[in-house]
Amino acid sequence: MENTIQLEELFDAKLERGEFIEPKDWMPEKYRKTLIRQISQHAHSEVIGMQPEGNWITRAPSLRRKAVLLAKVQDEGGHGLYLYSACETLGISRDEVIQQLQSGKAKYSSIFNYPTLTWADMGAIGWLVDGAAIMNQVMLQRTSYGPYSRAMVRICKEESFHQRQGYEIMCVLAKGSPEQKAMAQDALNRWWWPTLMMFGPKDAESSNSAESIKWKIKRETNDELRQKFVDRTVPQAEHLGLTVPDKDLKWNAERNSYDFGEIDWEEFWNVVQGNGPCNKVRIENHVRAHEEGKWVREAAAAYAAKKAKAAQVQVA
């Protein structure tokens, strides 16, 4: 029987060779635990993220916009399911991770605790929030845990549609009437800084990054991804004729990147710790919907059990 040191050496060698760690492989308990933490919180973010956008489905300005938004919100629910399934391969049940979310023990992305006040927010979320998510999720396609990577590959295929439909909304508004352009600018003003917070604390303050990079769970750091997002997005804002709400934003030719202002970390931790504008209502809505959907889960489980029993009888 190999001892733990030998198992760790085999695990590290697998990572070194760039091979996936699969559910049946031996893995350090801490590797498993941090994957459960990150993947379940990622899934929670996808599902909670349905609420701010879902808020505008009945108020979309046209049938086309309504259909596109409906498709996007439905996609986010599906992304949550892929990720919950990936999480279950690590030996934790769906009920347990849902309970962690609803009790406040587990986090979800701070960005979804802000209100969606106008239709332009649908554009800003698609353009900025999904744009930031793409930056992070394209990197996570190379994560070392097989089921997580495969979920990311599938999710990334849908994210580009999410980002493009948001940017199209912003284009129409920014090129529209002065009132429409003002609505687009107001949305950019409210969503810009919370979007930068999505990438997490600064690398120097990140409690998990060093280990996540060592285990190739993360392939780039919070600050690297945030910088890539700013460099990619500022020219898009300029194309729209909108102003990024950061007086310190400035092209740095030496770094070939934008310098940008300081994030309000007090606001960030406040929202992460549950005191954002919508934290309470997001969880209340989730608990209510989960309760209302109990009969669906019970019916699906009963059907599956009946089918399994029938299959057993056939085999016997």
Tell whether residue 107 is a contact of ligand 3HC (CB under 6 A).
yes
- Enter the tokens of residue 180: 């429409």
- Written as one letter, the residue type at 274 is G
Q: Residues 247, 84: contact at Cβ < 8 Å?
A: no
Q: Of residues 130, 174, 230, 258, which one binds ligand 3HC by CB under 6 A? A: 130
User: Shortest Cβ distance from residue 175 to ligand 3HC (Å)?
Assistant: 25
Q: Of residues 109, 116, 144, 165, which one binds ligand 3HC by CB under 6 A? A: 109
Q: Where are the alpha helices (DSSP H) in 175-208?
A: 178-197
Beta bridge partners of 33: none
Instruction: Tell me whether residue 86 or residue 174 sits nearer to ligand 3HC (CB atom).
Output: 86
Q: Please, which residues have CB within 8 angstroms of residue 176's CB and are 6 or more apart in sequence? A: none
- Enter the tokens of residue 70: 């409906």
Q: Looking at 8-16, 171-179, 202-210, 246-254, which segment touches ligand 3HC (CB under 6 A)?
A: 202-210
CB atoms within 10 A of CB 152: 24
Identify the H or E element spanning 259: strand 257-259
User: Shortest Cβ distance from residue 62 to ligand 3HC (Å)?
Assistant: 23
Instruction: Tell me whether residue 52 or residue 244 sits nearer to ligand 3HC (CB atom).
Output: 52
Indicate the Cα dihedral angle 244, 174, 47, 65, nearest 10°.
180
Tell whether residue 163 is a contact of ligand 3HC (CB under 6 A).
no
Tell whether residue 246 is a contact of ligand 3HC (CB under 6 A).
no
Quick note: the x/- pattern for ligand 3HC over 26-45, rule CB under 6 A, is -----------xx--xx--x
On the 0-12 / 13-18 / 19+ scale of CB atoms within 10 A, 167 is buried
Q: Of residues 200, 220, 260, 286, which one binds ligand 3HC by CB under 6 A? A: 200
Interface ranges with ligand 3HC (CB under 6 A): 37-38, 41-42, 45-46, 49, 76, 79, 107, 109-110, 129-130, 133, 136, 197-201, 206-209, 212, 222, 272
